[in-house]
A and B are shown apart, each in its own frame.
Chain A
Amino acid sequence: MAINHEVLDKILLPYPDKVKKNRIKHIVRKNPEEGCQQIEANTRTIPGIISQRGCCYAGCKGVVVGPIKDMITITHGPVGCGYYSWGTRRNKARADENTPPEQIYGAMCFITDMQEPDIVFGGEKKLAKMIDEVVEIFHPRAINICATCPIGLIGDDLGAVAKAASERHKIQVLSYNCEGYKGVSQSAGHHIANNMLLEHVIGTGDAKSEPEKYVINILGEYNIGGDSWEIERILHDIGYTIQGVLTGDSSYEEIKNIHIANLNLVMCHRSINYIAEMMEEKYGTPWLKVNFIGVEATKKSLRDLAQVTGDETFIRKTEEVIAREDSVVLPVLEQYRKICAGKIAFAFVGGSRSHHYQHLLRDLGMEVVVAGYEFAHRDDYEGRQVIPTIKLDADTKNIPELDIKPDPERYQEAHVHLNLSKEKYDEICSRIPLGYYEGMYPDMKSGNLMIDDCNHYEAEILVKRLKPDLFFAGVRDKYIAQKMGIPAKQLHSYDYSGPYAGFTGAMNFARDVAHAMTTPAWRLITPPWEKETKEPGDNNA
């Protein structure tokens, strides 16, 4: 069924008028004749609507700083928040020459488990004692302290506790005032975490740049199900040196030295663009938006990267690796295309994935007809050119913007970072958009829907009306679709599968998606004694 006004009206029907007025701005049906249409995003969630969004703490602890493998992250608060964010994101980490296994804490969960007296009399002493014990038992290289809601209200001075602990133990102790109520979603937490890492960790290492190597960082890649390992495999084969991945399988030791990179690659624009931007201001490091989800997208990203190096060896090696991988991957995908081609899907995930995965689904001949982000900003939909026009609201203004000055010793102009002449750099910039992200909009087909902060109810109506063949979302929304007989795939933690990135990942993903759609069970839902004209799932729809 086509997406028409009838569907949209049906969605908005039960809402009170004010809510209707609000939600209609978050829903855009692409019509190229209207230019790039504006979508409302990153505004307050409507109370009482079952939003997919999480909180500031989730963005800071759960997404950005939690995965740093050799740091202990302490959740300061009552038991819930720490428990709920324990291991749910499947950030994989492994020991290596710099980080022995006993210094990897990713699978553990540390909380201060505040009780009523701590709320009444303050939790600073408890926190300080906990830091002492954690240092005594685990000897971590550094510690994060993440605040939960009540902390801001009772006025525990995390900064002071962190500073004192840092002096006592001679290791860095970072505190994040990422109380859940800050900002409007996870996005605020990303920003707080980005600020802290840039201000206090990045650039504190004393590694020197290595002129004989081409050093890159991958920002906004969290190694869910091993994604980053697959991306690193490909990049290593081409000959790049990877200094740091933020923050999938990353270590504090590596992050301290990511300033030595020639170039930053940005995967998840939403969660990490602040660091990319601030490193550009502080060190002059240019950044390139990449997407390693999807075979064609991966190839384009690799080729863009090779062009940016301006180095014939990388350009040639890139083609060799692509040819090698293509020969393995394409025949496999071709098999799955037979199952997937022509199918339609919804994607409601994250702040970049709903865009990234459209490329991979296109490789399989599938089309995303409804896509939306949970916590993205307008630039993630419409492209970074809209940033100057975004009016900052009070919630966003409450997150400090750092005043970044060029580092007097380390700042170098972009072309110097890239080992290019100014002319060559300008020429490359005219072809490859450095420091730019075009957003999801250009990749959506005319007539298809973008929905920001889609909620449980809206998703249900859309599934009923449009009957997609596959539903991609987080686990919270997965079962609405499945209850209506439509296979659903979790794209936050991949239903314990992965990697889905790069070339190997595309094959894994194609296999999982094909399995989801071809399970014989879907055809058996309607009992044989009932009318044979019924479609699977009609009972529930």
Chain B
Amino acid sequence: MVPDPHPLHEVNENQCQVCMPLGGVMALKGIADSMVLVHGSQGCSTYMRLSMVEHFNEPVDIASSSLNEKQTIYGGEENFRKGLDNIIRVYRPKVIGVVTTCLTETMGEDTGRMIGTYLADRSLHGIDIIPISTPSYSGTQSEGFWTAVRDLIVYYTTTVSPHEGVNIIVAQISPADTREIKRIARLMGVMITLVPDISMTLDRPYGILYEKIPPGGTRREDIAGMGGAKATIQFGYCCPDPLSPGKYLEEEYGVPLYNIPLPTGLMNMDRFIRALVSITKKPVPQSIMLERGWLCDAMADAHKCLAEIRPAVYGDPELVYAVSSLCVENGAIPALVATGTTSSRFSREILSLTQDGERQPEILEQADFSGIGATAAQKGVNLAIGHSGGKVLTERHGIPLVRAGYPVHDRLGGQRILTLGYTGTLSLLDTISNTYLEEKYRTYRQLRRTEFYDRGGVIHAET
């Protein structure tokens, strides 16, 4: 009998997901001249800073309303107002995003009302304060991210006259990925409004003046004009409709929505380029065709190696879907696909990737690494792709890990991991192949010796 890989129902042992407010903060960090106030106990902002700083290797300023026991009884409005006063004096932001926490949501704090009163009392001009509700018991980092992006768009967009620009709404991707999307749009000659743009805010180069609020990010004026765009391309393939910013733009302003997977993998990237072409009717430049050609060449080079890989892919649903698609198109059919959250679309879309093949991956939602590890061992997984939480798979089960997504805490350069576009796909593909080959070279001779010599020629590779 096959042992049940999920014998537990209550124990969440070694989590695969981070909390909802962190996703909200991540989105707000991609808005120009913005600051974030986490309305709750100060530990939340300190923990989120710790997590983000270790991933991005950048200063990350997240303010807190620092609620104490007294405010949990009498309400946190006074602290909230003091917090806003101080942020405005010291940081001079144009946008302040207020994310809530499990503390203030349980208290029932009405941040929308509190912001209204504050703005009326202070008669501030030029500062937008935007409430974003992120109770960590109602979702994960993924839901927090989409909620924040949608709320920002709802807040800023107005009816504007149609223009030639294209909206690009990205999922949680790295600053390097963000730069890659912008580069491709430039090569295609397409004017884009990219939300949220963390390309500079969470990856500052040396040589520019150090300021408390980093340069870059999507300008609020640009978000305001998103309702007049020719179309929206959104990398929110698994994003549920009620959270979908692109869906909102479509319903409210009639902006056609191309809701497509993250452009990791040849097919996904082709979908992105095709969407740009069909929206703008512009030709694909030769330089992009060359990049595509190099990727195809690399896929041909790597196909034998990749076909041996039985990967486990886990993390944020968007990344997991796109990376799984990359694996499938290269013959490395995932043995296991997991996410720490749950979504109505996730399983369906993953299954549709492999429906024509003989092998179907095991799909885990609301997974933890105890479940992922047990299933991986049972399914003969020989490589994992995902964030650094999966290091336990290496430690406990000897499965080599390709780090991608958020967070990457035990290696340098989380902010620079490039997985998008033909070029990013190529580099991810090489990393996957080479990580597998390194393991193979390390163990191949011993395994063959065991098979052919110790066991007297009886082939028993799979035990």
Could you list which residues of chain A lie within 8 angstroms of chain B, going by C-beta atoms?
A: 14-16, 19, 44-58, 77-86, 88, 107-116, 118-119, 126, 129-130, 133-134, 137, 148-150, 152-154, 179-185, 394-395, 398, 456-457, 460, 474-480, 483-485, 525, 539-541
A255: shortest Cβ distance to chain B, in Å? 24
The reply on B63 being an interface residue by CB < 8 A is yes
> CB-CB < 8 A to B107: which residues of A?
153
Tell me which of A44, A148, A540 contacts B102 (CB under 8 A). Answer: A148
Complex CA distance for A377 and B43, rounded to whole angstroms: 18
The reply on B101 being an interface residue by CB < 8 A is yes
Q: Are A47 and B65 in contact (CB under 8 A)?
A: yes
Contact A78 B19, CB 8 Å, known A85-B47, A395-B68 = yes
The reply on B264 being an interface residue by CB < 8 A is no
A442: shortest Cβ distance to chain B, in Å? 30
Tell me which of A58, A115, A130, A152 contacts B47 (CB under 8 A). Answer: A58
Contact A47 B137, CB 8 Å, known A119-B102, A478-B53, A540-B208 = no
Question: Residue on A with the closest CB to B48?
Answer: A84
Q: Are B15 and A51 in contact (CB under 8 A)?
A: no
The reply on B427 being an interface residue by CB < 8 A is no
Tell me which of A19, A50, A113, A485 contacts B63 (CB under 8 A). Answer: A50
> CB-CB < 8 A to A119: which residues of B?
102, 106, 135, 137
Tell me which of A79, A149, A479 contacts B18 (CB under 8 A). Answer: A79
A122: shortest Cβ distance to chain B, in Å? 12
> CB-CB < 8 A to A477: which residues of B?
59
Could you tell me which residues of chain B, from 382 to 399, have a CB within 8 Å of some CB in chain A? 392, 395
Q: Which 8 A-B pairs have the closest CB atoms?
A: A55-B43, A80-B19, A48-B86, A48-B83, A47-B83, A84-B47, A180-B41, A149-B103
A452: shortest Cβ distance to chain B, in Å? 15
Tell me which of A112, A114, A398, A456 contacts B59 (CB under 8 A). Answer: A456
Complex CA distance for A539 and B204, rounded to whole angstroms: 13
> CB-CB < 8 A to B300: which residues of A?
none
The reply on B50 being an interface residue by CB < 8 A is yes
Could you tell me which residues of chain B, from 53 to 104, have a CB within 8 Å of some CB in chain A? 53-54, 57-72, 79-80, 82-87, 89-90, 101-103
Complex CA distance for A109 and B101, rounded to whole angstroms: 21
Complex CA distance for A47 and B13, rounded to whole angstroms: 34
> CB-CB < 8 A to A540: which residues of B?
206-210
Q: Are A483 and B15 in contact (CB under 8 A)?
A: no
Contact A457 B212, CB 8 Å, known A49-B90, A153-B72, A483-B59 = yes
Complex CA distance for A114 and B47, rounded to whole angstroms: 18
14 sampled A-B residue pairs with Cβ under 8 A: A50-B62, A51-B66, A54-B47, A56-B41, A79-B19, A107-B392, A116-B135, A133-B9, A153-B106, A180-B42, A398-B69, A456-B59, A485-B206, A539-B207
Q: Are B44 and A80 in contact (CB under 8 A)?
A: yes
The reply on B136 being an interface residue by CB < 8 A is yes
> CB-CB < 8 A to A148: which residues of B?
102
> CB-CB < 8 A to A107: which residues of B?
392, 395
Complex CA distance for A183 and B41, rounded to whole angstroms: 10
A418: shortest Cβ distance to chain B, in Å? 40
Q: Are B69 and A88 in contact (CB under 8 A)?
A: no
A15: shortest Cβ distance to chain B, in Å? 6
Binary per-residue interface labels of chain B (126-146) against chain A in the complex, 1 for a CB within 8 Å, 0 otherwise: 000000000111101000000
Q: Are B47 and A81 in contact (CB under 8 A)?
A: yes
Complex CA distance for A483 and B205, rounded to whole angstroms: 9
Q: Are A54 and B46 in contact (CB under 8 A)?
A: yes
Contact A475 B54, CB 8 Å, known A50-B62, A53-B42, A58-B43 = yes
Q: Are A51 and B208 in contact (CB under 8 A)?
A: no
Q: Are B82 and A476 in contact (CB under 8 A)?
A: no
Tell me which of B86, B106, B395 contacts A49 (CB under 8 A). Answer: B86
A277: shortest Cβ distance to chain B, in Å? 24
> CB-CB < 8 A to B140: which residues of A?
79
B392: shortest Cβ distance to chain A, in Å? 8
The reply on B175 being an interface residue by CB < 8 A is no
Tell me how many residue pairs across A and B have CB atoms closer than 8 Å. 237
A112: shortest Cβ distance to chain B, in Å? 7
Complex CA distance for A52 and B64, rounded to whole angstroms: 11
The reply on B8 being an interface residue by CB < 8 A is yes
Q: Are B137 and A78 in contact (CB under 8 A)?
A: yes
> CB-CB < 8 A to A398: which residues of B?
69
> CB-CB < 8 A to B79: which residues of A?
47
Q: Are A150 and B46 in contact (CB under 8 A)?
A: no
Complex CA distance for A107 and B395, rounded to whole angstroms: 11
Known: A48-B37, A152-B72. 7 other contacts (CB 8 A): A53-B46, A81-B43, A116-B137, A153-B72, A181-B69, A395-B68, A456-B61
Q: Are B63 and A48 in contact (CB under 8 A)?
A: yes
> CB-CB < 8 A to A476: which residues of B?
46, 49-50, 53, 60
Q: Are B12 and A154 in contact (CB under 8 A)?
A: no
Question: Residue on A with the closest CB to B71?
Answer: A181
Question: Residue on B with the closest CB to A483?
Answer: B210
Question: Residue on B with the closest CB to A109?
Answer: B14
Contact A113 B206, CB 8 Å, known A55-B42, A184-B68 = no
Interface centre among A80, A149, A525 (most CB of B within 10 A): A80
> CB-CB < 8 A to A181: which residues of B?
41, 67-69, 71-72, 103
Complex CA distance for A91 and B106, rounded to whole angstroms: 33
Q: Are B206 and A88 in contact (CB under 8 A)?
A: no
Contact A55 B19, CB 8 Å, known A47-B86, A109-B14 = no
> CB-CB < 8 A to A55: which residues of B?
41-44, 46
Contact A149 B41, CB 8 Å, known A47-B86, A86-B14, A479-B53 = yes
Question: Residue on A with the closest CB to B96?
Answer: A48
Tell me which of A57, A88, A152 contacts B43 (CB under 8 A). Answer: A57
The reply on B40 being an interface residue by CB < 8 A is yes
Question: Residue on B with the closest CB to A80?
Answer: B19
Complex CA distance for A84 and B15, rounded to whole angstroms: 10
Q: Are B12 and A80 in contact (CB under 8 A)?
A: no
Contact A14 B10, CB 8 Å, known A119-B102, A181-B71, A476-B53 = no
The reply on B244 being an interface residue by CB < 8 A is no
B204: shortest Cβ distance to chain A, in Å? 7
Tell me which of B59, B82, B395 contacts A48 (CB under 8 A). Answer: B82
Could you tell me which residues of chain B, from 281 to 312, have a CB within 8 Å of some CB in chain A? none
Q: Are B85 and A118 in contact (CB under 8 A)?
A: no
Q: Are A180 and B44 in contact (CB under 8 A)?
A: yes
Could you tell me which residues of chain B, from 16 to 49, have a CB within 8 Å of some CB in chain A? 17-22, 37, 40-49
Question: Residue on B with the closest CB to A79?
Answer: B19
A234: shortest Cβ distance to chain B, in Å? 30
Complex CA distance for A78 and B101, rounded to whole angstroms: 10
Binary per-residue interface labels of chain B (194-225) against chain A in the complex, 1 for a CB within 8 Å, 0 otherwise: 00000000001011111010000000000000
Interface centre among A48, A112, A137, A149 (most CB of B within 10 A): A48
The reply on B11 being an interface residue by CB < 8 A is yes
The reply on B51 being an interface residue by CB < 8 A is yes
Question: Residue on B with the closest CB to A456?
Answer: B61
A159: shortest Cβ distance to chain B, in Å? 18
A460: shortest Cβ distance to chain B, in Å? 7
> CB-CB < 8 A to B102: which residues of A?
77-78, 80, 114, 119, 148-150
Interface centre among B59, B62, B138, B212 (most CB of A within 10 A): B59
Complex CA distance for A78 and B63, rounded to whole angstroms: 21
> CB-CB < 8 A to A16: which residues of B?
85-86, 89
Q: Are A44 and B10 in contact (CB under 8 A)?
A: no
Complex CA distance for A16 and B49, rounded to whole angstroms: 25
Question: Residue on B with the closest CB to A457?
Answer: B90
Q: Are B69 and A395 in contact (CB under 8 A)?
A: yes
> CB-CB < 8 A to B83: which residues of A?
47-48
Question: Residue on B with the closest CB to A521?
Answer: B206
Contact A149 B101, CB 8 Å, known A50-B62, A110-B12, A475-B50 = yes
Q: Are B68 and A44 in contact (CB under 8 A)?
A: yes
> CB-CB < 8 A to B15: which residues of A?
79, 82-83, 86, 109, 111, 113
Question: Residue on B with the closest CB to A119?
Answer: B137
> CB-CB < 8 A to A54: which residues of B?
42-43, 46-47
Q: Are A80 and B86 in contact (CB under 8 A)?
A: no
